Chain A
Amino acid sequence: MRPRFELLEPALIDRVVDEALALLASPGIKVEEPEAIRLLVGAGASAEGNRVSIPDALVHRALDTVPHAFDLYDRAGNPAVRYGSGAVHFDPGSSGVSVLDPDTLEARASQAADLARITRVADALPAYDAVSTAIVCHDVPTEIGDLYRLFVCLANSDKPIVTGAFTPRGSGAMLDLLALEAGGRAALADRPRAVFDVCPSPPLTWSEFACRNIMDLGRAGVPAEMVSMPLAGVAAPVTLIGSIVQHAAECLAGIVLHQLAAPGAPIVWGGAPAIVDMRTGATPMGAIETAMIDGGYAAVGHSLGLPTHAYMGATDSKVIDAQAGLEAGMTALVGALAGVDLISGPGMLDFLLAQSAEKLVIDAEVIGMVQRLLRGIGTPTASLATASFEAAGSEGRFLELPETRRLFRSEQFLPSRVIDRSSRRAWLDAGGLDAFGRARDRVEELLATHPLPAVDGSVAAAMVACVREAGAPFGLGEALPGVPEGFGEVRAG
């Protein structure tokens, strides 16, 4: 039996949805894109300027057409992230602006080579079901920053990709890049490799770009993942439940717009909310209350039959220390117990500003443990214990039993050496390293041994050409940082 965890009673979930619907009607949603307003009004909403009042009926109609499950596919075409299947998936948190340098412990501006490193590590670790465009590449022209990040992920991983566009132009170019490998836009919609994050603005606002983006993604049939971020007490009500209502209202508005643009297109009920620390105005991602808002809105999403996403497994610590471990561990645990379909956030430090490959490998252990917990306590033997006692004899020779050898691997999650379970003597002999030190070794080991993805040569060449063409007007140079040597080179013969 999977362990159960209930943050909101069913009756409270109903109240959340009722109040979210009430907010959609009044004061309504600020919609800053003319076509989006026209679509909404054409379907029965009423608008005063850019303030759009959305009636219940429109929401219910959208909820009737929105899919309850869909998959993201890996390079080989196998479903790897199965939204709505009940499984909990993890990917590295997105869009850091720096990386924690493991040697200097400084946060330095992130570059394409850092994204390649993080992507290679996430590709190597089975704990990650997807990679993500985890950081901004400061060494690449800003105008093609979104496209280039996706390109680096495609060149360094076979896994599905959690990404997002910075501009409408970027979104179009990114879909074109994905379509090259999928075999066209229609094939891409059929078996999407990527999901695109789209962010409403708190409170209750869909910006011009977010509207454009969500409509374009819907029409392309490529999954959109709403990242609603109520900030409790500042850009949302101070109560956790009030922030959950706001999240629901923002996401329901997004679903209405998305389903009007493209009925049946896939979309995820996601977010990155946070409480606000009233001493500094900071928005802690490692706070337990932040995780409670996440778990709460996930319950609301599930009640509506929607796939869910959240930013959990991150920390606000600046280095990989005890705070990093406890915040990442606790929030990932809450997210998993809440049944969030895709949890982004591993690897992240400092309010989602910094990424770290070393934290990513530590978080992979968190994920291994959390996934084990979700499998629950099983009953793989006919009797729970009596037959084992009979077989083990009076001396209790359990270690010699075939069932012990057969079952221990499924009964136990076997952590990597990042988790220290050696004797003090053995630990000292191995260098007496702390978790961060062991993680540094593990990253180097993974990078040295994990094979690069095998990308079809002509597809790779087409991707390179696509990125070069998009980047040329903005000064993208000859070198393609973060892309494996020889990628996309057309070889003679």
Chain B
Amino acid sequence: MSEELFAQMRQAVIDGDTAAAAALAEQALADNIPPLDAIDKGFVPGLTLVGEQFGAGDLFLPDMMLAARAMQKAIAILEPEMKRQATQRHVLGRVVLGTVKGDIHEIGKNLVGMMLATSGFEVHDLGVDVAPERFVSAAQEHNADIVGVSALLTTTMAGQRTVVEQFDAAGLRPKCRVIVGGAPASSTWAAEIGADGYSEDAIGAVALIRGMVGA
């Protein structure tokens, strides 16, 4: 009975059908299915499949985006019950993301966030034009393992160095690692500013972060 429901959940995520995912989450609550089971056995496998097919080039960014949104919606419905039952998802790691101050580009960062979320990380996206202090306070608040700092402009990439410096000043490293990305960044640049890592693209970023948290 719940197997059938899990299959429908998986399919709703694959289809990127937010309304169906929401209805299935409601039904799980009504049927007294543990919310964690609904997530881990129902919705997550759908997202994993979409992620795999994206990696293989068979699915595309809009497929990923809609699948992630359907999943988010389902989790939002299940969350109050999870809290009531005092259970929580097993997360591979906690990641804070943002684009540096003065820079409002976020396509790459969003992609990384989406891929991390689908891989089982807890992602806190601070958005764009984020001051260095915000990165620090968010890392403290969420007990982050990794902070990802994005910059698209050659004129704003210097802000990545400032973030690294502030993490050192706050004594947050090496427990929390600071990694950088964005078009002008490179492994040379990451080494120059003393960042803990760099990835060329979103898929590489997930592999990098998995390696860092040993997942």
Contacts and interface: CB of A to CB of B under 8 A. Distances in A.
Interface of A: 95, 97, 109, 136, 142, 145, 166-167, 201, 205, 207, 231, 233-235, 276, 278-281, 351, 353
B32 interface: no
Interface string B164-198: 00000000000000000001100010000000000
A281 B202 contact: yes
Contact of B62 (A95, A142, A233, A280): A233
B104 A205 contact: yes
B108 interface: yes
A354 to B, nearest CB: 11
A229 to B, nearest CB: 10
B18 to A, nearest CB: 18
B104 A279 contact: no
A234 B62 CA distance: 9
Interface residues of B, number: 16
B183 A351 contact: yes
Interface centre among A166, A234, A276 (most CB of B within 10 A): A234
List the 6 closest pairs (A to B, CB-CB), nearest first: A278-B60, A278-B61, A166-B155, A136-B154, A97-B184, A97-B154
Interface of B: 57, 60-62, 104, 107-108, 111, 154-155, 158, 183-184, 188, 201-202
Given A95-B154, A234-B61, 6 more contacts: A201-B104, A205-B104, A235-B107, A279-B60, A281-B108, A281-B111
A207 B57 CA distance: 36
Contact of A231 (B107, B155, B188): B107
Contacts of B107: 231, 234-235, 276, 281
B110 to A, nearest CB: 9
Given A95-B154, A351-B183, A279 B57 contact: yes
Contacts of A166: 155
A167 B156 CA distance: 11
A276 B61 contact: yes
A351 to B, nearest CB: 7
A93 to B, nearest CB: 14
A429 to B, nearest CB: 42
A174 to B, nearest CB: 14
Nearest to A145: B155
B104 A207 contact: yes
Contacts of A233: 61-62
Contacts of B154: 95, 97, 136
Contacts of B60: 278-279
Contact of B155 (A109, A142, A207, A278): A142
Contacts of B201: 280
B162 to A, nearest CB: 12
Nearest to A234: B107
B202 A278 contact: no
Contacts of B62: 233, 278
Contact of B61 (A142, A145, A281): A281
Contacts of B155: 142, 145, 166-167
